[in-house]
Structure 1
């Protein structure tokens, strides 16, 4: 089996799981019956199912589905370090033996130390590993963000290896998989070096190969911009990389590499603009400027000085004509299209999802002849249906799965191909957001984190029967 990333297309998923149709059409929810302990799975409307209350009060799932905590903050890893806290974005790959490789972000700042892979007092941080960290902070303010790599056996449901694969960065929030078998991890932090205990500028993206066996030496890809990064998605055809910015007035960026699959060779950074209106505000906070399911032609504007001292890319881009978005977060590439979430977009600030359909000549001088389009795919008007969507993923059958991040009761929500909303999971254990949801390359396992608990879960069940 190839060590390259295996893309789980719909056909691949059908072959693996004998799935013939999945089309949830109505809302599944942690409803009042669940709270009363009713475990009935009877349909109340055609296609509607109840979530089964978890006896442990942790995570409610549909009938037949189960979860397992496969990694927990503070446990010792294979390399002797501790599982860091605040797990966030994740990507999966298939290794040569058929095991699943998971690369997992950790959204940690240098403080508090309770989330440190080096222990509550950083006692596992030594001079021998200092050069492996991006920013060791002279040993005083050690960067505690980064990534861990897990090797997971789907046959046994166990992690067989787990180690730090990148360290010394700040607040690695999300990122994205590449078609050539690596994970791009993003810093959601723009702290500048101060010449003393903060040794490096932050606000960059880094690349972690899927097949590393230990910590790599982090090298920022500076041509991809210094800003409050969230996530990335890669077009396998053109090699273009799309980047979201978690700011209430953020932009959508595109990076065109000089050399496909070799991001350290640099490239060109651009910002997305709407053809019909310069500097369009897509947030719909004051008035409904953007209507659902109305494709708008777009173009891309080159932007210079992409490694600025000031966090001003979004301001300069907006002045050039770029569209403005409300906290761009999760982004995921499908087939000739991608989706991204805007966490507090919409008139009630409950969240938006946009769909970008690629040009047939994406990233080339010919794309103006067949321009790409952007449309508002979903906008929540009811927080019981969708409330502050964050990480998202395109499921093997083509629906969207989204994690909520609202400080209340958080769910994994779904949106089917007809635009109908449903609920797949309900976090009952805490008000922590769920993060990093991603399927294994086989499509048999859904991985997700409970961030503040520091748990990584593997969810399995009858995907082929989930109708």
Structure 2
């Protein structure tokens, strides 16, 4: 079946008679997002109220703007010597929080999206003599044991190295560790010793200062420009997002043979809208409508790209899989998987079109609900109407109280994005909250230090602390990457 007009399709087989009751049934307690952006709040209603510039509790620097009552400390700044003697690397990206090994502590596993050349010493993640996948790899992860109440870093160290461009990832099943993803398919042709574009495991227990985990690629999970993953705790299936800028991207599902041993292999699949070949999710969508889903198999999950083999996305699209644009953050919550399309949507940001002519939008938030007897359901829960509401959502996290935090990555070149709290900055990035009760986005934090993106937002196991990274530079020591621990009156609002 060839793809019909999307709006006609939604108006016919999928959205006939769509009313508020159906939206509630589709989205559960997040039904209000179906109306997001259509009924703005009165001043002071949304989120936690007005923001103001705030100095860090431990450094005194004004780096963030936050609502009244919230404070933060700075952890793990680029260049700070760690417990293993290695300077804290550059490019702080995806991250997750786990219970610490000591009372009141939290263990963070943090990605470093280092984009320097093969073997470059600038800000790299590197422990000499350790078990590394690629001896020239400059990326990886660090682990921090922190006390969020005092802001003390108890210890921190390299927990995986020998990889490159570690962008995002996700928690392993039963929170046994972190899955870190390479956002590239570079290989020997670009100077690296090994092929890249894989997912790697960072076990929670095992890595210690001076003894990072061995970096072994999980090739059955696909070789593509990975962004993030989320694991369904009921099935152990791993959902994966792809961010290959300028080309249509896929939303993937990995069905492992053994959910507790991803290295044992499994089946990689790509999402397809049931009965429609090549359905284009990037634009022309209806918020709140139900899209029935099926899955197509990726026959060659580890393609020989250097030899001209079709990419994972090309394989899926050839079987009628759905198209997305720049899929990034991915998190399991409320019985489904929420994920961002950074540049999806009908409101366009003015940047030059991609390779297939697609014009980038300001971003979409999707929810996939697994089916018990079928392929599941896909729902667009929010689409940004413009940069003021939401500009280029990247990482995201589902909060303990049922909201969502979106990390902006405004890399647009055509649409300047200044902010009154950050004078002198042209493209300002924010943390945006999505309120499931009111169905609208709101500003929660503004990066007033530089124009780098927010990344790695995650809550401590007790829900009292929001950890988030400021990326900094991916190829230089300045601006530095930082990790923030934000505390305050969460119960006063929707996060």
Q: Tell me the TM-score normalized by structure 1.
A: 0.82
Question: 1:339-350 residue pairs with structure 2 within 5 A?
Answer: 339-347=338-346, 348=348, 349-350=361-362
| Residues 26 and 47, structure 1, Cα contact 8 Å, conserved in 2 | no
How many residues are paired up? 403
Q: Secondary structure at the match of 2:390?
A: coil
Q: What is the match of residue 182 of structure 1?
A: 177
Aligned counterpart for 2:304 among listed residues 286, 309, 315: 309
Offset at 1:47?
A: 4.5
Pairwise CA distance, 1:165:
0.5
Q: Which stretches in structure 2 are left out of the alignment for 5+ residues?
A: 1-31, 56-60, 349-360, 412-426, 473-479
In 2, the alpha carbon distance for the partners of 1:94 and 1:53 equals: 31
**2:399 is equivalent to residue 399 of structure 1:** no
Give the drift of 1:110. Answer: 3.9
Q: Note closer, same or farther for the CA distance 1:377–1:75 as it changes in structure 2 (3 Å cut).
A: same
Deviations 1:269-294 (A, max 9, x none): 0110001411111111xxx1x21110
1:424 aligns with 2:444: yes
In structure 2, C-alpha distance between the alignment counterparts of 1:309 and 1:110, rounded to whole Å: 24
The residue aligned with 1:300 is: 295
| C-alpha contact 1:102 1:151 (8 A) present in aligned 2 | yes
Partner of residue 356, structure 1? 368
The offset of 1:420, in angstroms, is 1.1
Residues in 2 aligned to 1:46 and 1:104: alpha-carbon distance in whole angstroms: 34
Residues 397, 190 of structure 1: CA spacing in aligned structure 2 closer, same or farther, 3 A cutoff? same
Contact in 1 for aligned 2:173/2:259 (Cα 8 Å): no
Q: What is aligned with 1:73?
A: 78
Further displaced range: 316-325 or 53-62: 53-62
- For residues 194 and 452 of structure 2, what CA distance do their matches in structure 1 show? 30
Residue equivalent to 1:388 = 392
Deviates further, 257-266 or 45-54: 45-54
Q: Matches of 2:336 and 2:111 in 1, distance apart?
A: 25
CA distance in 1, matches of 2:44, 2:199: 46
CA RMSD of aligned residues (A): 2.1
Matched, 1:207 2:201: yes
- Structure 2 residue 64 is the aligned partner of structure 1 residue 59: yes
Instruction: Specify the SS of the correspondent of 1:382.
Output: coil
Shift of 1:113: 3.8
- TM-score by structure 2 length? 0.78
**Structural mapping, 1:4-15, within 5 Å:** none
Q: 1:101 aligns with which of 107, 132, 144?
A: 107
Q: Secondary structure in 1 aligned to 2:95?
A: strand
How far apart are 1:327 and its partner, in Å? 0.4
Cα deviations across residues 313-357 of structure 1 (Å, max 9, x unaligned)? 111111101101000000000132111001011121101111111
Report the secondary structure of 2:456's partner residue: strand
Contact map agreement 1:109 1:143 (CA 8 A) in 2: no
Residue 57 of structure 1 deviates from its aligned partner by 4.1
Q: Does 1:191 align with 2:218?
A: no
Task: Determine which of 154, 161, 164 is the counterpart of 1:160.
Answer: 154
